[in-house]
Structure 1
């Protein structure tokens, strides 16, 4: 039986933006299925009683995220609103993912780019609906998804499961029960997938 591979990310995380772009095409490269699981990392921070973001820490993160994106030849412009509430983005993703996973992933990548490159407010449900239309998703259909209780429960439950599994930051990938935190562990994670891990 092949191990599940779960990618936890938050739309308001610059490192999730970098990781998502690096993981595009993962399935084709490795012959394995990567399951995308957006979560609300802010909710996990509250459960962990994490201290608020300090100015010193945010200044470093802004510099490091830009440097890291540049290293991977990706554009990244720090948004004018940070962080944002990604509820609408997450709900749109889960509404689409079960039946149209490829479209959901492409919309997720577009939402990440909209926030981290072109400074769009992805907390605005109307913007999420507009973007969905550009991918051929009926506006009323997607609006139904944003208000669907099953979708709301899915996001809450996925965030709770991530916390229970030990997730304390994003991006985070589990290969089975093997945890990899941070976009800087993706090469190691892919190698782990390719050779079925190693002893340590």
Structure 2
């Protein structure tokens, strides 16, 4: 029996990137369908969030995300550009955001096609894997192709159906909170939330308790 789970994900979250490839590999090896549920990052939902945090919060996060990437052997580099336009010194979020709305709507359009996890992984490898100017040229088109999708088709939908896609994205956020958490990455399986890139093995363990089998079994 195929199990199902929801993965709540942000294209600006380094920890979402550090988790997505491992969740994708899990779904390829084990008989579980993991549905991507993109959400807008805190920088959009709570623009003053970073200004309210202790000074060491950002420093620790940068140290930790590089450490996690090294530990797991995941390519990792500062995003160029950052999906969120933000003043590094003041941590203030800019009013104009040219990247994150497009990315998140593209992710939701991919999720409509059942390929959200693959799209998020391939796109994440550009943004967080060190690709310079990932938003230019053929970078995103090639990432979409690797996920089995057509970027031109996704972009057209993201523009024409932006209002409906945003409603679905906001519904994802509500579902995340109803599932018992507020942050990403969070996998919700059988009503139980598993928050963070360090809960993947535990989520797999729980699924195995519920009868999860390998796909080639």
State TM-score, norm by structure 1.
Answer: 0.80
Q: Is the 8 A contact 2:8 2:186 kept in 1?
A: yes
Partner of 1:116: 128
Q: Return the match for 1:137 from 125, 128, 150.
A: 150
Partner of 2:199: 185
Aligned with 2:77: secondary structure?
coil
Partner of 2:65: 65
Size of the aligned set, in residue pairs, is 194
2 CA distance for matches of 1:182 and 1:59?
A: 18
Output one character per residue of 1:156-190: Cα deviation in whole Å (capped at 9) or x when no partner: 22122223333222111111111111111110110
Q: Is the 8 A contact 1:89 1:108 kept in 2?
A: no
Partner of 1:29: 29
The structure in which a higher percent of residues are helix is 1
Q: Is the 8 A contact 1:11 1:112 kept in 2?
A: yes
5+ residue gaps, structure 1, are: none
Q: CA RMSD in A?
A: 3.2
Task: Flag the 1:106–1:57 CA change in 2: closer, same or farther, 3 A.
Answer: same
State TM-score, norm by structure 2.
Answer: 0.74
Aligned with 2:8: secondary structure?
strand
Q: Is the 8 A contact 2:11 2:100 kept in 1?
A: yes
Q: Does 1:146 align with 2:158?
A: yes
Partner of 2:171: 157
